Chains A and B, each alone.
Chain A
Amino acid sequence: MLEQIEGSRAVAKTVARCRPEVVCAYPISPQTHIIEAIGALVRSGELARCEFINVESEFAAMSVAIGASAAGARAYTATASQGLLFMIEAVYNAAGLGLPVVMTLANRAVGAPINIWNDHSDAMAVRDAGWVQLFAETNQEAADLHVQAFRLAEELSVPVMVCMDGFVLTHAFEQVDVPEQDLVDAFLPPYEPRQVLDPADPVSIGAMVGPEAFEEVRYLAHVRQLAVLEQIPVVAAEFERTFGRRSGGLVSSYRAEDAEVVVVALGSVLGTIKDTVDERREQGERIGVVGITSFRPFPREAVRQVLSAARQVVVIEKAFSIGFGGVLATDVAMALQGLPPEVVSVVAGLGGRPITTVSLRRVLQAAVNDRLPPLTFLDLDEDLVRHELERMAATRRSGPTAENLLRDLGVPSGHIG
């Protein structure tokens, strides 16, 4: 049933219908509405047989989830940004232990400077942790991906992170068909762990492994991720059969079949990009869009197939590897090895800066005219940057640049101190 609902609440209701048995919560913007809503559902009894635990840190949140999952309970938590980085050791640990924890990541920039708004730096920081990372384009997809996430996690004994853009999705009210309880129950069987902490059948979990087998353990984790890659389309197809709508999968493609220029992106910005592409198509430019839903495992083959006919691939991403460039662009370029498309990287929307159709139009025009350099920073305030660079050249000293920039902009907080 369609309802007008905030993204966070839609996700909370969906997670509740997945019947998690242990939910651990530590608040961080922009994740708060999700855990608040789940807490209320537990309090009201709507989500029965669930332990809702207010922990003292994100590190504890993931650790509680690890303990609960190892003891055979379906475990869920949610975080963002600094919180994800604070729990990163446990994030790796959950994957290493093969525990099917599901976590929502309300994507947010990572400081310093502290910034609560949306980008994908947090997700990229744990790219190599061994988690499945699924990116939602809309709130409907964010809700649906959670149902699929539990299914994938428990079938393949791997933790799954559902990434949804902070504020842009979490705080947006739009129509969502929250997955119905009976359909979720049909789609998602109860959690039956392959190994569990049981006094009747005692096992040791988490032993030390030295050089004699560590590489093999890691290789097998990779093999498991490749199995996830095969299972994601299967689960998405079954989801479509059960719920009657498409959600998830490895990649999504929009008007890309005959496109000379294809834009690749993660998450909610795909909507703005599609609008811009529609407009450019009317001008006769052959532009298409490909969204990466499964960022980890990375769908190399699917990306190759969908992009092989393009002349140029423009990867627009809300994160980058400082000192190098685009992260997603690197993965896309690797996937296209030996194929003709040129891959360029456009870093955009950092720290919540809006990615507007006006700016996108400029980028796409440059791409069509082959004038896009390998690395572009969209809407960079070049005067501001130049001013600071000149100052740095004049007075060499260490320290943060953020305060100087704010002072130049005349932002009141720049005058503090």
Chain B
Amino acid sequence: MRRDLLPTDAVAAGGTPEAADTGAGTSGAIGDDPGAGRQRLRFYQVGSFAVGNRLADPSQRTVQSDATRSNSLDSGHRACQGCGEALGARYALDAAMRAAGGQLVAVNATGCLEVFSTPYPETSWRIAWLHSLFANAPAVATGVAAAMRVKGRSDVRVVAQAGDGGTVDIGFGCLSGMFERNDDVLFICYDNEAYMNTGVQRSGATPSAARTATTEAIGPDPGAPFGQGKDLPRLAMAHGIPYVATATVADLHDLEDKIERATLMRGARYVHVLVPCPLGWGTASADTIAVARLATQTGLFPVYEAKNGSVTSVSKIRRVQPVEAYLGMQKRFAHLFGTPGRPDIVARIQAIADDSIARFGLLDSHAGEPAERGAR
């Protein structure tokens, strides 16, 4: 039996949903924010740390479990099996739609999400949706927001979405401008850490040592170089915008909560969602959630929220994992393992994870130091 199909241990952790909060959840939860009730829910399935839903009061369940959810990104699209971006976009936009009461316009950058959702003459979008170009989604969204403001449609919320290329690389100029002007746009980045649509080329979000089609696993320094890459959430924070958050498709409650919270705020908001790509990462289609969760549990992808440039809460790592557990699942890091392997490079990646854990305080004191990392 797969471990992640075992029953939840929520009852064992405390018996009631409220009590579950203290055992495993966030620190510094923001009590007066919409959705904060659901954010307090932390059901972890035995072994896998999956977040469950079934024992929660219906009002506290996820948007995805709601039969009346909007299905913003409907079935029938052309995404690959196990696509993290398709999941992320559906989760995010359904949550945004619920928060906005259906009054939502989405702007999409060029990329996988745009291509697989709208092959002419079909569309998977059940929301008002506009695709213009690769680099300009933030600016187009600014234009939509301006139009809504001038038309007196303050009820309409504007979301812009892009992959990591459209966010950290080619779209960064427009994104930074949108942030700096504090335009009334929620920008969501679905980060799968490379240009997957064009065949897995390196982006400014590709992690060190990862093999891509333009950073082949060849030579003495295989994969993407160390010392490069952009940490977009922290750059967003540096703009001092009202809200910045990171999330993954592995924690639906957390992702939906952050999107709902961000949707109801005003000004420039940024949510950075880690979305594994089975094709580009070389993972099994069934492992999208597992690998996203490991990204957080190793500390390589810190999950946190920031307001006005300061971190206000972090999602603690429940049981810290060695980076090998995360890297070893992915063919893009296969050159680091085997015989002789590259333990030196793995150690450098572990150091990056340790730095991230220390920077964001991802471990509770009782959860142990990185050295006490438990087996998976």
A residues adjacent to B (C-beta < 8 A): 21-22, 24, 49-51, 53-57, 59-61, 63-73, 75, 89-90, 93, 97, 197-199, 201-210, 212-213
Contact = CB atoms under 8 A, between A and B. Distances in A.
Contacts of A55: 139, 142, 177, 181
A201 B127 CA distance: 8
B120 A209 contact: yes
B320 to A, nearest CB: 40
Nearest to B143: A67
Nearest to A67: B143
B180 interface: yes
Contacts of B104: 199
B129 interface: yes
A205 B130 contact: yes
Interface residues of B, number: 45
Interface in B149-205: 149-151, 156, 173-174, 176-177, 180-181
Contacts of A208: 114-115, 118-120
Contacts, number: 164
A71 B144 contact: yes
B339 to A, nearest CB: 45
A230 B216 CA distance: 57
Nearest to B152: A49
B103 interface: yes
Q: Which of A22, A71, A201 gathers the greatest number of chain B CB atoms within 10 Å?
A: A71
Given A90-B133, A199-B105, A63 B143 contact: yes
A206 B147 CA distance: 18
Contact of A67 (B119, B126, B141, B156): B141
Contacts of B131: 204-207
B128 A203 contact: yes
**What 3 A-B pairs have minimum CB-CB distances, sorted nearest first?**
A67-B143, A56-B177, A206-B131
B148 A71 contact: yes
B130 A68 contact: no
Contact of A93 (B121, B133, B181): B133
A60 B173 contact: yes
B130 A197 contact: yes
A67 B120 contact: no
Nearest to B114: A208
A66 B118 CA distance: 19
16 contacts: A21-B151, A56-B180, A60-B174, A63-B136, A67-B141, A67-B144, A67-B146, A89-B133, A93-B132, A199-B102, A199-B127, A199-B156, A202-B126, A203-B129, A204-B129, A207-B120
A207 B119 contact: yes
A134 B76 CA distance: 45
B135 interface: yes
A197 B144 contact: yes
Contacts of B156: 199
A409 B352 CA distance: 58
A68 B144 contact: yes
B312 to A, nearest CB: 28
A22 B150 contact: yes
Contacts of B180: 56
Contacts of A66: 132, 136, 140, 143
Interface in B80-133: 102-105, 107-108, 114-115, 118-123, 125-133
Nearest to A203: B128
A66 B151 CA distance: 16
A51 B146 contact: yes
Contact of A60 (B145, B150, B177): B177
A21 B177 contact: no
